[in-house]
Amino acid sequence: ALTAHPDIDRSTVLVTSTASGEILVGYVVPRTGASVDVSELTSFAGSRLPGYMVPTQIMVLAEFPLNASGKLDRKALPEPVFEASEFRAPVSATEIAIADVFADVLGIDRVGSDDDFFALGGNSLAATRAAARITAALGKQVGVRELFENSTVAALAARTDLQGTVHRVPLRPRTGDERVPLSLAQQRMWVLNRLDPGSGAYNMPLALRLTGDLDVAALQAAATWAIERHETLRTRYPEDVDGTAFQEVLGAGATTLDLDPIDAAGEADIADRVRRLVYDGFDVTAAPPVRGALFRLAGTDDGDMQYVFVIVMHHISGDGASMAPLARDVMTAYLAATAGTVPSVAPLSIQYADYTLWQREVLGSTNDPGSAANRQVDFWRTELSGITPVIALPWDRPRPAEPSLHGGSVRAHLDAQTHEAFLDIARSNNATLFMVLHSVLAVVLARTSGARDFAIGTPIAGRGDEQLDDIVGMFVNTLALRTSVDPEATFQDLVCSIRESDLRAFGNADVPFEHVVDVIGQDRTPGISPLFQTVLSVEPLGEARFELPALTVEPVEVVNVKDVI
C-alpha cells in the first residue's frame, strides 16, 4: 500500500518491540526528486488498509541498507524515535461528529482526529453503540466492522464520507393510545413467566448498602419518583382475548414500595432476607413485576448505621444495564428530597413503549424480503448451518432431565500481568479483550469436548441509540457466536478467525435469539439450551462506591440462582 503512492519508490513494514508493546514501523524510500509528507502518506495507507495494518510510525530513508548479498539488512534499519504526539483537532463535519460520538460513548472530554477508538478504551460493546450513533448522527451506514478496520477519527471519517446515505426511522414518542405489543426481547420472558410464575430465575435485583445517616422518608420519596419516571416499573403484561400479550402502562401509584426499615440480626440474616425477596416469583400479567425493601443492620464500629436497599424487577421489565440509570435516578432524587426540592433532571425523551414500536418498524417483518429482519435471519441461517448443537463437556454431576435452577460458582483471579498479556494480544491483532477471551474459552471447550465447530453464547446490550442510555427496560439479546477451532492453527490465527466471526455476528444482532433458533430448526430438548450450552459475558466494571452527604453507597452482590452448592 505504501509503494502504491506515486512518491514512493520502495517500502517495507516491520514489527518492532517497544516499551509499550509491539508496533508497526514503515520504512520508505522516495522516488528521485520526490518529497514525502508523512501525515499524508499515513492517511493514504489508511484509505487502503484496515486500521491495524497502518504503520504507527513511518520513517523516510534516502536508501535501504543492504547486506553483502544485496538483500535488505533489517538490523541496520534505524530504530524509530517516538515523540509526544500533538493533538490534532477534528476539522470536517464528519470528523467532528465522529469525535463527539467517541467522547460520549467512552466518557472522555476530548478526542482528536488521530485518536484511536480502541486505544482510548473502546471494546466490542462500546463499538456497537458508537457505530449505531455515528449512523444516526450522519445518516451514513457505519457498521461495527467499519469501526474496527478504521478505528481513528480521521480514518473512519474518510471511510464514512464514501458511504451512501441511509433512511433512518426516528426514535420518538408515540402518539395516541395505541395498544403496544411486547418488545421482541420481552416475548421470551413472558412465555417463561407463564410457564412458571412462581420462579424467581429471571428476577433482576438492585441492592445497595447505605452506610451513615440515612433519611428514610427521602429514600421513600426518591424511589417513588424513579418509578413514576420509568414507565416499565409500572407496566404489567396481560394477554388479549386472542392470547396476544401486550404492555399496559399503569398510572402513578400503581407500583408502591414499602421502605419502612426491617431490622436484621446480622449479615447472614440480611443475605437470607435479600435472597427470599429476589427468588419469589411474579405474575407479570397481574401487576407490575417490581418489589422492594429496606433492611436495617446494627451500627458499625464508627457508630454509623447500615442499611441494605433492594429493588427487584422481573427481566421482562429491565436488564443488567438498567441498574445504573435506576440507581443514579434514585440517588439523584434522594439528594433533592433531603434538600426539600424536586430532582432537576430533564424528562426522559422517550419511554420503553416508544422503543418497542420503533424497533418493530426498523426491523420489519421476516416475511418481507427487503426488511432488516429478513436479511439478518438469512445471515444466521447460513452462519450457524451445520454446527454441533450440543458438545460433550465433562460434567461433575449428571445433567437433570428438567432444569433445576440449582447452580454453583467458582471464582478465579487473573493477575495484572496476564491481563496485560491478553490486551497485548488484542492490540496486535486488531481485536478486543472479549475476542481474546472468546478464543481462550474456545480452546478450553475444544480440548475438553473434542468438538471443533460449535457456538458460544453471549449477551449483547441492544442499546445503540443514545436515547436508550437512561431508560429502564429489557433491551438485551443473545448471540450464538460460531466458533471453529483448527488444532493445527496458531493461537494468533484463532484470534483472527474469531474476530471475523464475532464481527459478523455483531453486525446482525437485532433479530431475537428465539427466532434464530426457530429458523435453524434445532429440536428443543428439555434441560438443554438450544444451539449452545456455554455463555461468555465480559462486563467492564468501574468504581462502584460513591459518597453522598452523610452517606456512603456501595453495591451488594446477590447471587441470583435458586441455591448454591
How far apart are alpha carbons 1 and 11 in whole angstroms?
A: 9
How far apart are alpha carbons 314 and 355 in whole angstroms?
A: 19
Q: Which amino acid is at 190?
A: W
Phi, psi of 44 (to 5 degrees): -60, -45
Per the CB < 8 A criterion, the answer to whether 528 and 165 are in contact is no
* DSSP conformation letters of 469-498: TT--S---EEEEEEEE--TTS-HHHHHHHH
SS3 271: helix
Q: Which amino acid is at 234?
A: R
Q: What is the pLDDT of residue 565?
A: 33
- For the full predicted model, state whether its pTM sits above 0.85: no
Per the CB < 8 A criterion, the answer to whether 33 and 57 are in contact is no
Phi, psi of 218 (to 5 degrees): -65, -40
Distances (CA, A) of 23 to 17, 241, 346, 384, 501: 6, 64, 46, 35, 25
User: Residue 563 belongs to what H/E stretch?
Assistant: strand 563-564
How far apart are alpha carbons 529 and 299 in whole angstroms?
A: 46
How many CA atoms within 13 Å lie on the side-chain side of 188? 17
Distances (CA, A) of 258 to 220, 262, 319, 558: 8, 10, 23, 21
316-348 exposure pattern, b = at least 16 Cβ within 10 A, e = fewer = bbbbebbbebbbebbbbbbbbbbeeeebeeeeb
Closest CA to 451 of 380, 535, 389: 389
How far apart are alpha carbons 557 and 565 in whole angstroms?
A: 17
The grid coordinates listed for 60 are 523516510
- Please state the length of the chain: 565
- Report the sign of the C-alpha dihedral through residues 508, 509, 511, 514, in that order: positive
Average pLDDT per block of 10 residues along the chain, 565 residues long: 85 66 78 84 77 78 85 83 73 93 90 89 87 90 89 91 84 82 93 90 91 93 95 95 92 88 89 90 95 84 81 95 92 93 92 94 89 93 91 84 78 88 87 94 96 94 88 94 94 94 93 89 77 88 68 78 39
Per the CB < 8 A criterion, the answer to whether 429 and 492 are in contact is yes
How far apart are alpha carbons 408 and 96 in whole angstroms?
A: 48
Which DSSP category does 321 fall into? G
Q: Given its phi and psi angles, is residue 412 left (phi above 0), alpha (psi -120 to 50 degrees) or beta?
A: beta
Closest CA to 282 of 290, 294, 271, 274: 290
Given the DSSP bridges, would you call strands 57-60 and 21-30 parallel, antiparallel or unpaired?
parallel
Phi, psi of 164 (to 5 degrees): -80, 160
Phi, psi of 462 (to 5 degrees): 70, 20
Distances (CA, A) of 346 to 170, 284, 340, 350, 351: 20, 30, 18, 11, 13
How far apart are alpha carbons 152 and 557 in whole angstroms?
A: 37
How far apart are alpha carbons 534 and 551 in whole angstroms?
A: 40
435-472 exposure pattern, b = at least 16 Cβ within 10 A, e = fewer = bbbbbbbbeebbeebebeebbbbbbbbbbbbbbbebbb
- Report the sign of the C-alpha dihedral through residues 549, 555, 556, 562, in that order: positive
CA 272 to chain centre: 31
Given the DSSP bridges, would you call strands 235-236 and 477-484 parallel, antiparallel or unpaired?
unpaired
Measured at the alpha carbon of residue 234, what is the angle toward residues 233 and 237, in degrees to the nearest 5?
A: 100
